[in-house]
Structure 1
């Protein structure tokens, strides 16, 4: 089973790993797209970036140093609501190993990367304008690299950018069946945490739903894909 996650706009600074080596990343079939994206980012840096605020200045500095900056595992680089709820850094060793083996994150700059792949900080999203490239041209075929059963927790924008054939999307709803915004991300992170702590090995959606029923996780079939009910928006007791 592969769990597909979106990236986050916010990223942890620093790192202790060697500078980016695309040859060390998972999914080597994405090498051409990565090379093109990095070359386009080089052109963006050369043209000059907006540094009018402290946040924009930091983003510009991250982009300028993307080839030389220290790296850290992707699952630790990305921050924010989803990744806070997942809490990879606090997981027991076995659960963290599960995350490294099963979680794949979609990067607008590097395509799909494994949770353990060492990456630098950068500021590129699906909305970024990279000189001479279009995001859809870079990554429209990247989903073919994902094999086997995939649980799709990506946003609609990232799922459209790199469709993964046969992936099972998950919608996050309240007990009343209403779609959630902020807590959508927290619910996704909590679900991955549950999966990791349980060490779930499911090769089909039906097998995953059997586990969910046995573990009292409110994951069920939906009209399209699966549905997770977030009963407590604070996710108290999520593992």
Structure 2
């Protein structure tokens, strides 16, 4: 099983690991593109104003350019701990046990705009780059999408078994999953008191983080969709195959409508 997560704009500073070494990252076939993107970011970072425009930074976010300049020498930390924000706060990686961390490393990947797919425990530096960032103003320069789609697509196509895609649409577009059995993009929906469902917006990331945490805690390398759905049903999750002409083999995770402050949302998920 492979659980795909989006990254986060916000990241922890620092780390205790050695500087980035591409040879230590999982998904080795991505190394060439990783090096290409890193080189492009290094060139872009020499021009502060161009970087601010390319990264869509605000007037008080100039330190993000310095982060990118420091990538070659910056300390690293495991990917699941590097990212912060709603999804990763809900996942709460620092609280995972050693056994859970090992399971996550084998079964969870974050889709970074800088490094492509990285496993949960891969050592990564702090950086600033998004799926829609432009690495060069030069006409004809390849976009991140042109760089990543072929490479990440090949890696995912070669991955056997169940793939649970929790990425946002922007990151899913940087590496579409193959169209085959047991490969599913997950949508999170809210059900109101009248039974009607709609896309869950504000708490979508939190629900994904909590669900990923539950999968890590379960520690089961599900062989296929049926096993995942059986587990979800037994655990009280409303997870099902999407229906309709545009379902495309997706999964729907439905939670009750939440009003007010949701806390950890766990009661709503199950």
Shorter-normalised TM range: over 0.9
The answer to whether the Cα contact below 8 Å between 1:26 and 1:117 also exists between their aligned partners in 2 is: yes
Query: 2:166, 2:208 within 8 Å by CA — same for their partners in 1?
Result: yes
Structure 1 position 160 matched with structure 2 position 160: no
Aligned to 1:199: 219
Shift of 1:232: 6.2
Unaligned runs of 5+ in 1: none
Instruction: Give the whole-Å Cα distance in 2 for the aligned partners of 1:118 and 1:58.
Output: 22
Aligned to 2:146: 137
Larger radius of gyration: 2
How large is the RMSD of aligned CA atoms in angstroms?
1.7
Match of 2:72 among 52, 67, 76: 67
Measure how far apart 1:154 and its partner are.
0.5
Take 1:229 and 1:92, find their aligned partners in 2: how far apart are those partners?
Answer: 28
Count of paired positions: 238
Q: Deviations over 1:70-114 (max 9, x none)?
A: 000010011101111111111233222221221001011111100
Match of residue 237, structure 2, among 214, 217, 224:
217
Indicate the residue corresponding to 1:173 in structure 2: 189
Whether the 8 Å CA contact 1:4–1:106 is kept in 2: the answer is: yes
C-alpha deviation, 1:6, in angstroms? 0.6
Partners in 2 of 1:121 and 1:158 — Cα distance? 18
Answer whether contact 1:40 1:133 (CA < 8 A) is retained: no
Deviations 1:47-89 (A, max 9, x none): 22338733x2221111000111000001001110111111111
SS at match of 2:197: coil
Q: Which has the higher relative contact order, 1 or 2, with Cα contacts under 8 A spaced 6 or more apart?
A: 1
Aligned to 1:7: 7
| Equivalence for 1:103 | 108
Does the aligned pair in 2 maintain the 1:100–1:116 contact within 8 Å? yes
TM-score when normalising by structure 1: 0.94
Q: State how far apart, in whole Å, the 1-side matches of 2:11 and 2:228 are.
A: 30
Q: Secondary structure at the match of 2:102?
A: helix
Alpha-carbon distance, 1:196 to partner: 1.0
For the 8 Å contact 1:144–1:164, the answer to whether it is kept is no
In the other structure, the counterpart of 2:228 is 208
Rounded Cα–Cα distance in structure 1 between residues aligned with 2:67 and 2:7: 16
Q: Cα distance, 1:218 vs. partner? A: 1.5
- Counterpart-to-counterpart distance in 1, 2:35 and 2:219: 35
Q: Indicate if the aligned counterparts of 1:37 and 1:133 stay in contact, CA closer than 8 A.
A: no
How far off is 1:46 after superposition? 1.6
Q: Would you say 1:21 and 2:21 are equivalent positions?
A: yes
Structure 1 Cα separation of the partners of residues 163 and 221 of structure 2? 12
1:53 aligns with 2:59: yes
